[in-house]
Structure 1
Amino acid sequence: MAPGSDTASPSETLKANGANGATASGNESKDETVKYAPIGSICDIHSMYESKPDESGNRSWTKELPSDLPDPAEDDESAQYALILRKSRCYDGRKNLELHSVVIQSQPLKNFLGKVLDGYPGVTTTLERLEFTKPFAPLVHRWETFLRVRSEEQDSVTKEHVELFYRILEGELRDVISLKKDLVANNVVTYDLVWSIFEPDDFMIGSMEGHQTALLFSEAYVDCRTKAWKIEGKFITFDGDDFGFETDVFTIPPFFGTTPITSLSAFPLRYHAGQAAIREALVARGKRWEEHRGYHFKQYEGPATRFLEDDEVKYNVKSRIIIDADAFNIFHPTESVSIDDKVDDTLTDDQRLITSPMVYGYSLKDKEWLRFALDNAHDIEWDSRAFDSLVLPEGQGNLKQLILAIAKAQSQQLDNFDDVVQGKGRGIILQLSGPPGVGKTLTAESVAEVMKVPLYAMSAGDLGTSAGRVEQNLKKILRMIPKWGAVLLLDEADVFMEARTSTDLERNELVSIFLRILDYYEGILFLTTNRAENIDAAFESRIHVSLAYRNLDASSRRHIWSQFLDTPSGPAFSSEQLDKVAAVELNGRQIKNVLKTANLLAQVERGPTQV
């Protein structure tokens, strides 16, 4: 204790014990409690030393300085030499010691290696301490360059230092280099030498979800748990704003003997016999992939991947899709597309070679955000006759052109009208009412077809029934659709449009939410209903065009029968037969179902279709 003070000095607190004040040892009384300075308050250093490993190889830390520490091996004496070789014990039965690493101290030798390893990633030959560690991968990969630059060297001092280094390397790497040459000449490799065939920034070939792809090699290492090789490569992807790199990892399990290089899950492109053709095909695909930035409407058939937390689910998709990485990130943030290093907006052929074979977007039929293979996406074959085939009762035919004209004008944003409140009332809402099977849904489908834009069809079942879920889903959908210039169809919208009452508060809330969200929708919306007479009065002021469909008359039914029955070889039915079937009161959907059933029966009986 310091004179005249009640506090312990730092020197008196060296036996500090944490929180509970352990008793002092030695000559001090067992009842006397040692006092400690507050945690972290002493401006000094307290060192601990690693102890020797126990029988299980575990180590701990001690306050005692080890008594058997050797003197440092590198000192002023060792600094005089061009090279320092560090050797470790060898237990392979052939020699007692093996080379562990080499430290280059010679400046002329560093200058020489600068030419040999120019551009080799991860190696900076101008460092004051230049070190190479077994298996000396950079020197194995650049061995041919080493020999060439060695033969060209003219400076006598440099040549002397190079020859010294060469003798060491040649003795150490002779077997590895010789075996690698032999293996490569036979297009095979052993498990132990997998690392030797991969050089940094090599173009390598792999497979991504069954599609051949090229990547830029990054790193090869062995998984300490499975003992499998892990081969990392970089490829270029698009995050909705920029092109940039993403990493993929390929696994090569342990194997005995030799295996063909091209049978590995990933291997350098230069070892492929058809490398020129593969490069040309992948660059061509990369150009096509580059053109799919932004959003694009395509037809897709094939496997696709859905991301579900930490799992991936495969879908077999046959649908029109919207490719849009930006929207994927917005509406599917848990598995968003991300990049590491940004690259220029215009790609080179080398960059197109390593672009991803995958694109991200939305399946309109499955209503899922998915990852698609670009090879399975194709241009849409639009049905230009869809709108012409739409049959309306006599006297309503001109409404078809009115609907189409309004939809086109809205799609092209020709209407600059805005509400008193900015952003409100900018959409176009069309109500189609009438009995089932008279063409309400077909109207929306044919408008989208002739305009060559996506059709997003949904029903009450897609939105849910609780007010909160409906609001959440509607906001998301009504935010997506205008971005793509799509036509939105809400089929059988009665549940959201039915007149509010004083008793059904839950339905009232649904209707109110729907009305409020519609006010700020900026796209084209078709609403279909079978019960127009029950619609809430508030919708009347929000609907721009209302079209009431009537039951099909005989003339309309005849036209539908004729359309379905026309074949390339001519009409399947005579005029009299068409008159006969048109007299039967059926709607359009029923006519289609009758013909489909008759066609299936005719195929079974191998006879002509009978009605």
Structure 2
Amino acid sequence: MAAPSDDTSTVSSDTTQQPADNGTHTPGTICGVHNVYETKPDENGETSWSKELPETILDPAEDAESAQYALIVRNQKCYTGRKSLSIHSIVIQSDALKKYLGKVLDGYPGVTVTLERLEFYAPFKPLVHRWEDFVKARDEEELDEVTKGHVDLLYTILEGELRDILARKKDLIRNGVITHPLLWTLFEPDDVVVANVGGRQCAYLFVDDAINCRTKAVLLDVKYVDFDGDDFGYRDYQFEVPVFIGTTPITTLPAFPLRYHPDKDAIKERLIARGKIWEQHKGYHYKQYEGIAIGFLEDDETRRYHVKSRIIIDADAFNVFHPHESVSVWGDVPNELTDDHRLVASPAVYGYSLKDKEWLQFYLDCTTEIKWDTAAFDALVLPKEQENLKDLILAFAKAQSKSLDHFDDVVQGKGRGIIMQLSGPPGVGKTMTAESVAEVMQVPLYVMSAGDLGSEAYKVERSLKDILRMVPKWGAVLLLDEADVFMEARTATDLKRNELVSIFLRMLEYYEGILFLTTNRADEIDPAFESRIHVSLAYQNLDATSRRHVWCQFLARSANTEAFSNVQLDQLAAVELNGRQIKNMLKTAGLLAWSQKKDLNFEHVQTVLNLRKSTAPLSA
């Protein structure tokens, strides 16, 4: 064939375009194209570029003549030893054949039969996956003579090329097994595949497969439905099938199409039912949890936690406050899920463990409804002269939670919170007050201490900022236990602590929720706090009457109170203990009774009390 000219140029007669004295033009001024050609690879496989047209260049394989044919079949040398040539690809040029394939491949992702140039490449996955449909349509549909001729032509070519693969696939599936090289024949795009993840059966939609070039393992890309706090959508996941020799049962693969499971109908029904429950947990929910949860670390690693705590399910807050991993979804999934979406919905939700103070992924089947201790507030023991303050505390808390107090500071957004100070010695009921208020209101209780916030000013400010935004969002009660370090009066010498107090005061100005502060040194708090505290309750050491009431309350929960006589209860109340000590005494006595396989009685409590050096033995 004639070689194209190396240069195609049009040079203007303008003097600026004329050659210089050395016979060259100014760089970039010639209106034309200068062609160069890639050379053959050398002994190192490297190529270069030359002005010379390669001698081995051939005429284009596709031209006006080839365009007349229904099919173009590209063949290449075969190295299997079973045949000399194999088909590299097929170009479908027949409109009649495209229309026929449109029915056979209807809904097959990635195939658009209406393209002017429709190509299929070996190993012809769409045609292998839909081979039975192809044959059935060829045998049963009434086709015009032209279409039938083109369909028969393609069938003959494909049957010859795919005969071995199709026969092996059929034989393997009939025996319920598969080989590693033919894994791809099992998985059709959008197939529902099942797998065991985290000890739970899960379903996914198959997307594509690939080969790990290093390990030769097959990588199965799938997707599932998740919730990002605002919308439902898809998330990606991947399974790896390591190389194995010979055959393996299909159902032992890390993931496999649901249609190969012997109990596929029951599994589908069960997963859809779980998906319906999961769908109802979008948004905010407060639950009890016991089981394994998953934490996300900075280096994309995960950590398993055993959680026994109340949890807050809130994917939106997870995305806002969790620093390492966020829930991101893609794709068009309706807000009202269909059963097809519910089938492949995540088995997990995202939220916060109040006890562990961790943002985690929770499995929905480990959640239960909270059993509220509705009697907790009534059981709260206060001195008689302060009993009326219980109702005041509860009234403040309820009003705040229902936004009944619309009073605002002069500066918009300031002064909306309710701050209550609880002071007194340890074990007299300060913490229990906050706990019981949360119980009677049936809202979360977020407990933090100075140790949780740290001592570095910037860390304290960052942690407080998140907490004081997060807690009102949940309508929770916030308890800052042992808050002395943030409340003590500022001095001229301790600048570091002064900074902490200033940060805390500034953050409280804009807090919009309910806050309990407990302190053991109410007389030493900074004066600036006095104007911010709405209710201040000073607890005293428990007297004998209060201690007897506490003993009865704890005994009622752990044993039969009638097993203790009034005399015995009076003797217990005579021992100067605080509420926490009484609780610990009964817990230890309960363990002693359990070890003896007996019901808890006075003798068990007496034994534990006698271990205290300062306590004299009690008579029965």
Q: State the TM-score, normalized to the length of structure 2.
A: 0.90
C-alpha contact (below 8 Å) 1:208/1:357 kept by paired residues? no
1:53 Cα deviation from its structure 2 partner: 3.1
Please state whether the residue corresponding to 2:277 is helix, strand or coil.
helix
**Distance (Å, rounded) in 2 between the aligned partners of 1:334 and 1:610:** 49
Q: Given the alignment, which residue of 375, 384, 388 partners 1:385? A: 375
Residues 273-327 of structure 1: CA deviation (Å, up to 9, x unaligned): 1111111111111111111111111112222222222322222222111111111
Please state whether the residue corresponding to 1:346 is helix, strand or coil.
coil
Change in CA separation of 1:442 and 1:610 when aligned onto 2, cut-off 3 Å: closer
Map 1:161-560 to 2 at 5 A. Answer: 161-309=150-298, 310-560=300-550
C-alpha contact (below 8 Å) 2:17/2:30 kept by paired residues? no
Q: Given the alignment, which residue of 98, 112, 119 partners 2:107? A: 119
Change in CA separation of 1:568 and 1:91 when aligned onto 2, cut-off 3 Å: same
**Distance (Å, rounded) in 2 between the aligned partners of 1:403 and 1:458:** 20
Structure 1 letter corresponding to 2:550: I
**Distance (Å, rounded) in 1 between the aligned partners of 2:80 and 2:221:** 31
Q: Given the alignment, which residue of 573, 586, 589 partners 1:595? A: 586
**Distance (Å, rounded) in 1 between the aligned partners of 2:14 and 2:126:** 66
Change in CA separation of 1:81 and 1:325 when aligned onto 2, cut-off 3 Å: same
Change in CA separation of 1:10 and 1:469 when aligned onto 2, cut-off 3 Å: farther
**Distance (Å, rounded) in 2 between the aligned partners of 1:234 and 1:3:** 63
C-alpha contact (below 8 Å) 1:217/1:233 kept by paired residues? yes
Please state whether the residue corresponding to 1:166 is helix, strand or coil.
helix
**Distance (Å, rounded) in 1 between the aligned partners of 2:525 and 2:103:** 82
Residues 102-138 of structure 1: CA deviation (Å, up to 9, x unaligned): 1111121111111111121111111111111111111
1:166 Cα deviation from its structure 2 partner: 1.1
**Distance (Å, rounded) in 2 between the aligned partners of 1:73 and 1:3:** 43
1:23 counterpart residue number = none
Please state whether the residue corresponding to 2:389 is helix, strand or coil.
helix
Structure 2 letter corresponding to 1:153: E
2:97 counterpart residue number = 109
- 1:72 paired with 2:72, answer no
Residues 73-128 of structure 1: CA deviation (Å, up to 9, x unaligned): 11122122111111111111122111111111112111111111112111111111
C-alpha contact (below 8 Å) 2:177/2:247 kept by paired residues? yes
2:119 counterpart residue number = 131
Change in CA separation of 1:288 and 1:10 when aligned onto 2, cut-off 3 Å: farther
Aligned residues: 587
1:203 Cα deviation from its structure 2 partner: 0.9
**Distance (Å, rounded) in 2 between the aligned partners of 1:6 and 1:107:** 52
- 1:98 paired with 2:86, answer yes
1:346 Cα deviation from its structure 2 partner: 0.5
**Distance (Å, rounded) in 2 between the aligned partners of 1:549 and 1:44:** 95
**Distance (Å, rounded) in 2 between the aligned partners of 1:358 and 1:584:** 50
**Distance (Å, rounded) in 1 between the aligned partners of 2:200 and 2:535:** 48
Change in CA separation of 1:270 and 1:59 when aligned onto 2, cut-off 3 Å: farther
1:33 counterpart residue number = none
* Further displaced range: 391-400 or 270-279: 391-400
Please state whether the residue corresponding to 1:176 is helix, strand or coil.
helix
**Distance (Å, rounded) in 1 between the aligned partners of 2:125 and 2:104:** 13
**Distance (Å, rounded) in 1 between the aligned partners of 2:45 and 2:291:** 54
Amino-acid identity (%): 66
Structure 2 letter corresponding to 1:406: F
Residues 28-49 of structure 1: CA deviation (Å, up to 9, x unaligned): xxxxxxxx83xx7876555554
* Further displaced range: 41-50 or 336-345: 41-50
Change in CA separation of 1:597 and 1:59 when aligned onto 2, cut-off 3 Å: farther
**Distance (Å, rounded) in 2 between the aligned partners of 1:364 and 1:446:** 16
Structure 1: state its 5+ residue gaps. Answer: 15-35
C-alpha contact (below 8 Å) 2:207/2:221 kept by paired residues? yes
Residues 414-435 of structure 1: CA deviation (Å, up to 9, x unaligned): 1111111111100000000000
**Distance (Å, rounded) in 2 between the aligned partners of 1:105 and 1:148:** 22
Structure 1 letter corresponding to 2:320: I
Change in CA separation of 1:299 and 1:48 when aligned onto 2, cut-off 3 Å: farther
**Distance (Å, rounded) in 1 between the aligned partners of 2:21 and 2:303:** 63
1:147 Cα deviation from its structure 2 partner: 1.4
Change in CA separation of 1:222 and 1:6 when aligned onto 2, cut-off 3 Å: closer
**Distance (Å, rounded) in 1 between the aligned partners of 2:334 and 2:514:** 36
Residues 375-428 of structure 1: CA deviation (Å, up to 9, x unaligned): 222221212222222111222222222211211111111111111111110000
1:342 Cα deviation from its structure 2 partner: 3.5
**Distance (Å, rounded) in 2 between the aligned partners of 1:296 and 1:48:** 68
Change in CA separation of 1:47 and 1:548 when aligned onto 2, cut-off 3 Å: farther
C-alpha contact (below 8 Å) 1:562/1:571 kept by paired residues? no
2:611 counterpart residue number = none
Structure 2 letter corresponding to 1:104: I
**Distance (Å, rounded) in 2 between the aligned partners of 1:470 and 1:41:** 66
Change in CA separation of 1:547 and 1:184 when aligned onto 2, cut-off 3 Å: same
Structure 2: state its 5+ residue gaps. Answer: 1-12, 607-620
Q: State the TM-score, normalized to the length of structure 1.
A: 0.92
C-alpha contact (below 8 Å) 1:565/1:572 kept by paired residues? no
2:565 counterpart residue number = 574
1:64 Cα deviation from its structure 2 partner: 4.3
1:17 counterpart residue number = none
Tell me the C-alpha RMSD between the 2 structures: 2.2
C-alpha contact (below 8 Å) 2:552/2:561 kept by paired residues? no
